Structure 1
């Protein structure tokens, strides 16, 4: 049984929304926030994900299809900022953070990059 509507699958309203990038997904009984393009303009969308008991496709919806609600421009930056604060750190972000604090690895990477730059000046083989 479906626990909630995955916001990555929400592409409506079809004629208005494109380029949806989910920033925050709180799971069942919580909301989702995404950056998106609404009628050709960048915006922020929000929706309630739903749950398996009451509303498996969440709100808003139209004729059984999940939709995004466009956050009014005066509130969009605030909603997006809070969503970014609540979003868990991705594995890739965590790996980059860990690598950036490893000074030995940084020195090795710099030496490797510098060696590549030197190869550009070498004559072809």
Structure 2
């Protein structure tokens, strides 16, 4: 017997309602799904089974089950998901859309960090030490702070230098 397809795992039924499996890495590997746990939108996680142990982990009374990830890990799972599913997952979890941060280098040697929200056409310059900065060290320290701050707030940040 091969492993149980994560799309067929619906336990614990009293708490979990599966919406979609967003990552399935195959036998003996992990799977992630979105769904509701006691009515709250969440990311579920489980280890797929193998030929020797088709149920996988976690399990309860011989049934394959899902366990919930801490909300703080949701952005990391979104980043792991296939790119074509990331917007759907973000919207389902009420997470901000993916933000793209791009460094713009002026011929004068000045650096500016620009941002663009996924689905939008135009970039917007950020201010302070992130705008028209000639000091490369100060600029990149400010970039690191900006990225960390956004990730801490739950945003999915894509950075291009």
TM, length-normalised to structure 2: 0.49
SS in 2 for 1:32: strand
Q: C-alpha separation between the residues in 2 aligned to 1:15 and 1:81?
A: 29
What is the number of residues matched between the two proteins? 84
The equivalences for 1:9-88 within 5 A come to: 9-53=8-52, 55-84=53-82
Structure having the higher helix fraction is 1
Preserved contact between residue 44 and residue 80 of structure 1 (Cα < 8 Å): no
Shift of 1:29: 1.2
Q: Which runs of 5+ in 2 are unaligned?
A: 86-161
CA drift of 1:58 comes to: 0.4
RMSD: 1.5
User: How far apart in 2 are the matches of 1:76 and 1:4?
Assistant: 25
User: How far apart in 2 are the matches of 1:64 and 1:74?
Assistant: 30
Distance 2:16 2:46 in 1: 13
Aligned CA distance change for structure 1 residues 59 and 81 (closer, same or farther; 3 Å): same
Q: Whole-Å Cα distance in 1 between the matches of residues 4 and 66 of structure 2? A: 12
Higher Rg: 1
The structure with the largest strand share of the pair is 2
Moved over 6 A (4+): none
Secondary structure class of the residue paired with 2:13: coil
* TM-score normalised according to structure 1 size: 0.62
Is the Cα–Cα contact under 8 Å of residues 18 and 33 in structure 2 kept in the other structure? no
What CA deviation, in whole Å up to 9, does each residue of 1:78-102 have, x standing for no partner? 12321335x8xxxxxxxxxxxxxxx
Relative contact order, higher structure (CA 8 A, sep 6+): 1
